[in-house]
Structure 1
Amino acid sequence: MSLSRRQALGAAIAVPVAAQAARAASSPSLPDKNSFAVTPVAYLDSASTHPISLGARAAMDAYVGGRTLDPAALARKPVDRAAIIAKFARLVNADPDEVTWVQSTTMGEQAVLRALGFPHKGGRIVTDTLHFYAGFPMYQELAKQGVDVAWVQARDGRILPEDMAKAITPGTRLVSLSLVSTYNGFQHDLKAVCDLAHRVGALVYADIIHAAGAVPVDLHGSGVDFAACATYKWLMGDFGLGFLYARCGVLDDLPLADFGYYGFAAPGAPPGIGLSPPQTHVYPMDPRGDAPVSYIVRPGALGHFGTGTYAQSVIAAIDHGLDYLGALGVPVIQAHAQPLIGAMREGLTARGYKIITPSGTATPLLTALLPDARARLTEPLARAQVRISLHDHHFRIAPSVFNDMKDVDRLLAALPRA
């Protein structure tokens, strides 16, 4: 069989990518540059979007091959979705039936709010100013619709436990926070917050997008009730797929608020995420029934929050990403980032920048204040081929598994004095 020019080109690309990925996966060590494509850029922006590894790319290529009906790809064993849920559950110390797919972190947070009846049931929500800032309008809109929203203000880049304690009053229904702040990397003591909330009968939701894969996460140990994250950051996946966690038992008294294909199954269907669609009673040769369809609600988080389809190609990427994280170990990844963060903190301070990430923070994020940061730094960083996250009046640096001190030196050399 002869290959077309397009097929030949695709094969020429796929073979070295797959070969490099296989070599890198065999013995990852840090810094690990072999698992990622060669780039001239000193990429220090993994808290915005983590680069896709060569192994994840090969897995996604195989998925696309199947979608194009490539015989070679069709012969591959399909990705085990239940196994991926189980891998993520192990990563964050949860049970697989407490976890389901979600399209994004924000979709997960909104699903929790709907499940609790906000805004129509009213009540008090406590959140803080180091939560995801793009979610602030959501809580402001809830307040307009009658929800009592209390904002805990950050002090010196931290949310102080005593300030949380004052805000979490009797009658509070939900505490909503980011375990690790996207703004400056501050990390809550999640167990302490959950203890405060549970004493007054409140539930706790945690956005863990900047925690899962970057720092150790223990959902069971913390007692948190809900958590969500997407996969395109530290889980090394891509956009359009994430995970939603609901603690065992917490959904028992909550009515369904989301209704979708994956949440329902035929009576007697086995548990899990395998397809077993409800039994219809309206089509030719259907069995008779008293309603158009017979079904059960699947147990656990899947039954409560499983709705429509999600990004299938990302499943292949995150399968590889979770294996990679499991092979290295999150504590090893966290430890690798800290000397880099320390060197950048020292270098930025020497250049006159004000660091707003609290000292002692063990997350891979470092944020500094600078008036007109985006306008002042875009050009010099582009010229030096250094990538960080630039904002109006601050910038954030986030090293990952492939970064080394040479990347730190390039960044510091490219930055003007504050």
Structure 2
Amino acid sequence: MKHPYAHYRPLFPVLASKIHLASCSQGAISKTVSESIEAYMNSLLTAGGNWNQAKKVVEQAKYSFAKLIGAEPNEIAVLCSVSDIFSAIASSLSFEKGKNIIVTTDMDFPTAGHVWLAQEKFGAKVRFIPSQQGVIPLEYYERYVTSDTLVTSISHVCYYNGFKQDLKAIADIVHRKGSLLFVDAYQSAGQVPIDVKKMDIDILAAGTRKYLLGIPGISFLYIKAELAEKWKPRVTGWFGQEDHSKFNVHQIIPAAGTRRFETGTPSFISAYAAAAAIRLLLEIGVENISSYLNLLTQFALDYGQEKGLHTVTPLSAHKRGGITAFYVKNAGQIESILKERNIIVSARNDVIRIAPHFYNTQDDIRQAIDELTTVLTANK
């Protein structure tokens, strides 16, 4: 297969010596991102401070992320992590009798369950939709989401096996039941097209260190403008106020839109990285990235099965993202062995995840699977 993005590979130094297939954990860092981090550090070294410029870069990052998901910039807030976003949203809710059910799934990242279960002492009741053979059947949302459901909290792409959900179909169901839809897009943003308006998503969270090709320390929260204006966050800070430069310690005046969910000074260095990384993704186009990753994922599934590996990723193309997960006993140990052989993959529980990005090739995947099968044979 001809690599349509071969000219971008030199932007990622790690590819010169390693096969990097762990975008589901940490995307490869580009020279453009590294240069943006250096620019931030140099401004501190030479000017002693860069407050105003750094704030502008945060706004640039917000604007770029908004464009990436089809939102307006005033519908985006910057926080430190997706876990922080979950807690900020959960603590803003009132769990009143008759409207106090939180529905999530057993395929969501543990943070989701942890945060929602922590709200039970405040009146919430948590229901987990069970998975069935590595997927959540759409009809389960009809069964588990009821008129007393306040929020339906789901992942777009499952971190464990790459299962991708039909967000618009789920939104139609849960909205008919009177529930809000909260989407964890950490494993999809940057590799799967997202349009929050067309998909009718109420709340969405994403971090930057995976397919968005940034570093830890920054996450983005989207909330529909009309919904954000109704909420008064209990997790707040001076950046979440209408005019934080007034330094008014006696009064809370929430900022307009989703910005009211911001707290303290963001990680500026992470914002510099995010702005540069998302610019690159927008230049290529997530639709183009998604089409290419569909081909790589199909190859990974086909070649993995040919080599005798057991996949836990859905075989249907419309039910998966860019992650291919193979069942592997002692996955963590196998991940470490492969890393010593210059192949970077990611283990979770009992699977090895192969998660390419646009900079990867079919040969990368072939070599990784060949080495994986060699290691598994040697460690039987």
TM-superposed deviation, 1:374: 2.6
TM-superposed deviation, 1:211: 1.3
Matched, 1:174 2:151: yes
Aligned AA for 1:367?
Answer: A
Aligned to 2:322: 364
Query: What SS does the aligned partner of 1:341 have?
Result: helix
Aligned AA for 2:365?
Answer: V
TM-superposed deviation, 1:351: 2.5
Query: What SS does the aligned partner of 1:222 have?
Result: coil
Aligned to 1:94: 71
Matched, 1:402 2:378: no
TM-superposed deviation, 1:200: 2.1
How does the TM-score come out when normalised to structure 2? 0.89
In structure 1, which of residues 106, 119, 128 is the aligned counterpart of residue 83 of structure 2?
Answer: 106
Cα distance in 2 for partners of 1:338, 1:302 equals: 35
Aligned AA for 1:330?
Answer: V
TM-superposed deviation, 1:245: 0.7
Aligned to 1:254: 231
Residues 141 and 114 of structure 1: CA distance in aligned 2, closer, same or farther (over 3 Å): closer
Aligned AA for 1:278?
Answer: K
Matched, 1:186 2:167: no
Percent identity over paired residues: 25
TM-superposed deviation, 1:382: 3.4
Residues 383 and 252 of structure 1: CA distance in aligned 2, closer, same or farther (over 3 Å): closer
In structure 2, which of residues 11, 35, 38 is the aligned counterpart of residue 35 of structure 1?
Answer: 11
Aligned to 1:320: 276
8 Å CA contact 1:279–1:294 kept in 2: the answer is no
Matched, 1:278 2:246: yes
8 Å CA contact 2:32–2:276 kept in 1: the answer is yes
Cα distance in 2 for partners of 1:293, 1:145 equals: 27
Aligned runs of 1:213-228 on 2, under 5 Å?
213-228=190-205
Task: Say which is worse superposed, 143-152 or 186-195, in terms of deviation.
Answer: 143-152
Task: Say which is worse superposed, 53-62 or 339-348, in terms of deviation.
Answer: 339-348
More helix, by proportion:
2
TM-superposed deviation, 1:31: 6.4
Aligned to 1:333: 289
Aligned to 2:343: 386
Residues 49 and 377 of structure 1: CA distance in aligned 2, closer, same or farther (over 3 Å): closer
Query: What SS does the aligned partner of 2:27 have?
Result: coil
Aligned runs of 1:3-152 on 2, under 5 Å?
29-30=5-6, 32-38=8-14, 39-69=16-46, 79-117=56-94, 123-143=100-120, 146-152=123-129
TM-superposed deviation, 1:69: 2.4
Residues 254 and 382 of structure 1: CA distance in aligned 2, closer, same or farther (over 3 Å): closer
8 Å CA contact 1:89–1:96 kept in 2: the answer is yes
Aligned AA for 1:378?
Answer: S
Aligned AA for 2:336?
Answer: T
Aligned to 2:210: 233
Aligned to 1:14: none
8 Å CA contact 1:122–1:146 kept in 2: the answer is no
**Deviations 1:365-399 (Å, cap 9, x if unpaired)?**
111212322335532x2353211112341111100
> Gapped runs of 5+ residues in structure 2?
none
Cα distance in 2 for partners of 1:309, 1:119 equals: 33
Residues 383 and 363 of structure 1: CA distance in aligned 2, closer, same or farther (over 3 Å): same
Cα distance in 1 for partners of 2:255, 2:353 equals: 42
Aligned AA for 1:399?
Answer: P
> Gapped runs of 5+ residues in structure 1?
1-27, 267-275, 281-291
Query: What SS does the aligned partner of 1:115 have?
Result: coil
Cα distance in 2 for partners of 1:354, 1:200 equals: 38
Query: What SS does the aligned partner of 1:125 have?
Result: strand
Query: What SS does the aligned partner of 1:170 have?
Result: coil
Equivalent pairs counted in the alignment come to 367
Query: What SS does the aligned partner of 1:127 have?
Result: strand
Residues 323 and 377 of structure 1: CA distance in aligned 2, closer, same or farther (over 3 Å): closer
8 Å CA contact 2:152–2:182 kept in 1: the answer is yes
TM-superposed deviation, 1:253: 3.2
